[in-house]
Amino acid sequence: MTGAGDIDRGRSEAGLVEAGLRELLDSLHPIGRHPVTGGYRRYAWTPADRECRDWFHRQARTRSLAYQVDRNGNQWAWWGEPRAGSVVTGSHLDSVPDGGAFDGPLGVVSSFVAIDLLRSRDIGPTRSVAVTNFADEEGARFGVACAGSRLLTGALDPDRASGLTDADGITMAEAMRTAGHDPDRLGRDEEALARIGAFVELHIEQGRAMVDLDGQPAVAVASAIWPHGRWRFDFAGRADHAGTTRLADRRDPMLPYARTVLAARAEADKRDCVATFGRLRVEPNGTNAIPSLVTAWLDARGPDAADVEALVAAVSDGSTAEVTRESWTPAVDFDRALRERLVRAVARYAGAVDAGGGAAAVPVLPTGAGHDAGILAAEVPTGMLFVRNPTGVSHSPAEHTELADCAAGVEALAAVVEELACR
């Protein structure tokens, strides 16, 4: 039976959690925010990214957590001594162009607040716990998503990473040096990997699966990540005058690009996949000039890898473009044993345990969005928690989640950390 003291303590803790969330989110919100769109432009190894990294360092120092930066630029804040087999949580702080306030930062903020909550209950870890901020998760500047975790695991070659360029021709190596990080140290990090006994990432849901469920739960557990990849399409043409060149004489690469966009949509629809041309570069990019080159990037995802590959093959075969695969992430099924422990911990937090001691229904959902947890899954047990997104909108200034749902996410994450590291 729940007594009045338990209820009062629960209300007090809920207030502390919401206050902690509000404080940390508010301190992050001004960084990298565009004054017109309201979206975030926190690209890797830029001044905005540096401000976010400084913020992370301050949060670690404020909590007396040992602070480290690994050879690939990923940040770590340790509750307990850094050692093998630790429990790690966190996410990322960089953004897509005009991204939302919660994609990535919610996971980092929630991790710090979950530690605060456990400490307020006088619960300490028997296994060390780390909060992490993975570098360049979105790949918005250099084109390869999850670069920090891919470098950590060896999934991204350090020489290739160093040579990646942004829209201004600046290499990742140059950007890192400017930001004070040594790119000559990039590469698989056995020491850092050995310290991860389990990784749990909390994230806003990027879709509306949870909203469409009965009861609209505030927290869910991830089951899998769809296979996904990025391809560059180069459409060659001939620059010419927009007003004097007859239609019959033109070699306009924008036309085959447009046909390819429509083909990608049709092929995705056939296969229950999604395909998006969301990034475009036009040369010479003049209003009154026929382009000489159109470069476009295709993002394709789906439940089945064969269907995604068939989609891209069909689009490529029907296109005149030169096609280059820039990244590919196979399907990820999160560690089953860890997933079951997450479900039990979330159920216990919610008080949703039946009379026989088994967990009541906690949503377990796949996602089409890529995450650092998906990269790490090839090396260590990983899992994810999702926090409800009332509209499903993400990668947009309109991305939103309610503070009460964020607090529920913190409570669930604290229960998970207690289950994995404090028992």
pLDDT tens by residue, 92-148: 999 999 999 999 999 999 999 999 999 999 999 999 999 999 999 999 999 999 999
Give the whole-angstrom CA distance, residue 96 versus residue 140. Answer: 5
Asked whether residue 321 falls in the same domain as residue 336, the answer is no
Alpha carbon distances (Å) from 115 to 129, 331, 350, 374, 416: 9, 31, 18, 24, 11
Asked whether residue 205 falls in the same domain as residue 238, the answer is no
CB 128 within 8 A of CB 83: yes
Give the whole-angstrom CA distance, residue 36 versus residue 304. Answer: 39
Q: What is the pLDDT of residue 9?
A: 56
Asked whether residue 236 falls in the same domain as residue 296, the answer is yes
Alpha carbon distances (Å) from 113 to 18, 107, 253, 371: 9, 10, 51, 21
Asked whether residue 143 falls in the same domain as residue 237, the answer is no
371-399 pLDDT per residue, tens: 999 999 999 999 999 999 999 999 999 99
State which of 302, 329, 356 marks the end of a domain. 329
The sign of the dihedral angle between the CA atoms of 371, 374, 376, 381 is positive
- What are residue 75's DSSP bridge partners? 69, 133
Q: What letter represents residue 188's amino acid? A: R
Q: What is the pLDDT of residue 14?
A: 77
Phi, psi of 84 (to 5 degrees): -60, 145
Asked whether residue 192 falls in the same domain as residue 65, the answer is yes
Asked whether residue 297 falls in the same domain as residue 381, the answer is no
Name the residue range of residue 262's domain.
228-329
Asked whether residue 26 falls in the same domain as residue 139, the answer is yes
Asked whether residue 247 falls in the same domain as residue 290, the answer is yes
Q: How many helices (H) and strands (E) does the chain have?
A: 12, 15
User: Which residue reads 């044993």 in tokens?
Assistant: 337
State which of 296, 329, 362 marks the end of a domain. 329
Q: How many domains does the chain have?
A: 2
CB 262 within 8 A of CB 269: no
Question: Which CATH number is 412's domain given?
Answer: 3.40.630.10
Q: What is the pLDDT of residue 351?
A: 67
User: Which residue reads 């060390």 in tokens?
Assistant: 128
Give the whole-angstrom CA distance, residue 377 versus residue 328. Answer: 15
Asked whether residue 287 falls in the same domain as residue 190, the answer is no
Q: What is the pLDDT of residue 13?
A: 79
Residues in the chain with pLDDT < 70?
1-12, 351-360
Q: What is the pLDDT of residue 4?
A: 45
State which of 296, 313, 329 marks the end of a domain. 329
Asked whether residue 260 falls in the same domain as residue 218, the answer is no
In what helix (H) or strand (E) does residue 285 lie, and over which residues does it extend? none
User: Which residue reads 């503070």 in tokens?
Assistant: 403
Task: Estimate to the nearest angstrom the gap between the alpha carbon of 334 and the chain centroid.
Answer: 15
Asked whether residue 20 falls in the same domain as residue 130, the answer is yes
Helix (H, G, I), strand (E, B) or coil at 345: helix
Question: Which CATH number is 316's domain given?
Answer: 3.30.70.360
Asked whether residue 233 falls in the same domain as residue 207, the answer is no
